[in-house]
Amino acid sequence: SGLITLDPGYKNSGSCKSGITFLDGELGILRYRGYAIEDLAEKSNFLEVSYLIIFGELPTAAQLHQFEEDIRKYTLVNEEMKNIIDGFPKTAHPMGVLSALTSALTAFNPKSVNVDNSAEMYEAVCKTMGKFLVIATWTYRKSMGFPLNYYDNTKGYVENFMRLMFELPTGPYAANPVVINALDKLFILHADHEQNCSTSTVRMVGSSHAGLFASISAGVSALWGPLHGGANQAVLEMLEEIYKTGGDAEKYLAKAKDKNDPFRLMGFGHRVYKNFDPRAKIIKKAADEVLGTLGVQDPILDIAKKLEAAALEDDYFKSRNLYPNVDFYSGIIYRALGIPTDMFTVMFAIGRLPGWIAQWKEMRENKEPIGRPRQVYVGHPLREFKR
Ligand code: CMC
């Protein structure tokens, strides 16, 4: 119909009103609930930022303590979930396993679909924060053939992530504050990013009143793709390949510019940021600090810097406003922390979880209508049916 506006990729269409994240792509500004990302990354911690994003205000000390307690209450995952994990081959990609397990949580927590009042909503939020972290780490344990670990109630959320991942039956995981702080910062930087592909997916699925776990599971699938969260794994694989083939950054720039070559410079470009990605700036600095403090010398970091410098000088990238995005340097830090490459996008998912939850909650509380875009039909006109 002539009344329908066509906007593939929603480049210029707003899908909702939102009070969560403010983003100015021209000026490179990112704020959660009015607070600058630079301040939050420097001064806050992941659970505090999660509370802020989900509930709208920074928590008092007592509220934050309660939130942490309430999340802890839900970190036990139904034992039968282990049978599901056992059914996957060890080679399964952790994002596929994570999406399936998140969806399966609905079967074991059917009541979490009811969010008719604020108490039920709060319970669904805490359950998701608790269980998702644990199953995310289980995807890694499964791929390694290690026994599954349980949440330690005496430790913080981010430290628990490292423990759940790396504590072996042979000995406890010794937390390194540099590592925990770096992770806290990375999770904060990923915590929300307004109506990106996975978040829009979560809102869209939730708009049919599907439950929170089912909606988040869809978000995980959307995030997995290499144009979205999957870029962090793709960046590292690309940097490794450049390194292994002699470090020729220019060759890869030429490939990225060649319109007959599908290759894109992974970790470059953004739908909204057209000057710089403020998260990339913070992450680049953090990568230097973390690797320096941990005494890690990674030639991949040098390759990344060389590639970035060359791209920033290049007319192709300059004229299209292509700058490093959040995914360009994050993998280098994850690698220094001992996180395997195929878990990078899972790291993104853990960081993005509060954003998905907050956006889903906002969508439900605003009583948004079911998401149902229209189309412009370009198929056959009526045809007579005959054999
Ligand atoms: N390498 C080479 N050329 C590129 C790149 C790139 N990474 N990104 C965009 N371009 C070119 C593209 O070919 C097009 O050129 P032309 O005008 O000659 O046809 C122009 O720049 C505009 O690109 P687009 O595809 O229309 O832009 P978009 O807004 O649809 O895509 C993007 C944004 C992030 C998907 C894209 O820049 C990309 O594929 N980047 C690489 C993947 C990546 O790093 N993704 C992570 C994004 S940030 C975190 C997240 O969302 O998870």
Distance 140 CA to ligand 1 centre (A): 30
Which position among 184, 277, 327, 342 bears the catalytic label?
327
Residue type for position 90: K
What fold, for 231-336?
A: Cytochrome p450-Terp; domain 2 (1.10.230)
Cα of 268 vs centre of ligand 1, distance in Å, is 7
- b or e along 288-302 (b: 16 or more beta carbons within 10 Å of the residue's beta carbon)? eebbeebeeebebbe
Angle at 194 between CA 192 and CA 195, to 5 degrees: 130
Q: Alpha-carbon distance 194 to 215, whole Å?
A: 16
Q: Which of 268, 317, 350 to mutate to test the pocket of ligand 1 (most atoms within 8 A of CB)?
A: 268
Annotated domain spans of the chain:
231-336
The active-site residue, picked from 270, 277, 314, 342, is 270
Starting at the earlier edge strand, list the strands of the sheet with 35-36: 21-24, 29-32, 35-36
Catalytic site includes residue 270: yes
311 close to ligand 1 (CB < 6 Angstrom): no
Judged by DSSP in three states, 314 sits in coil
For 181-185, the CB contacts below 8 A with 24+ separation are 182/286, 182/290, 182/333, 182/337, 183/46, 183/158, 183/337, 184/45, 184/46, 184/158, 185/41, 185/282, 185/286
Q: What is the dihedral of CA 51, 54, 58, 62, to 10 degrees?
A: -40
Q: In this predicted model, what pLDDT tens digit does every residue of 261-309 receive, in sequence order?
A: 999 999 999 999 999 999 999 999 999 899 999 999 999 999 999 999 9
* CB count in 10 Å sphere of residue 106: 18
Dihedral over Cα of 51, 209, 112, 108: its sign: negative
Give Cβ neighbours of residue 122 (< 8 Å, ≥ 6 apart): 70
| Closest to 351 (Cα-Cα) out of 326, 369, 325 | 326
Start-to-end CA span in the chain (Å): 31
CA of 86 to the centre of ligand 1 (A): 38
- Which of ligand 1's atoms lies nearest the C-alpha of 197? 51
* CA separation for the pair 89, 91 (Å, rounded): 5
Spans of the chain, pLDDT less than 50:
none
* Rounded distance between C-alpha atoms, residue 151 and residue 187, angstroms: 18
Ligand 1 within 6 A of CB of 327: yes
Global confidence as pTM:
0.95
110-138 tens-digit pLDDT: 877 778 899 999 999 999 999 999 999 99
CB-ligand 1 contact for 268 (6 Å cutoff):
yes
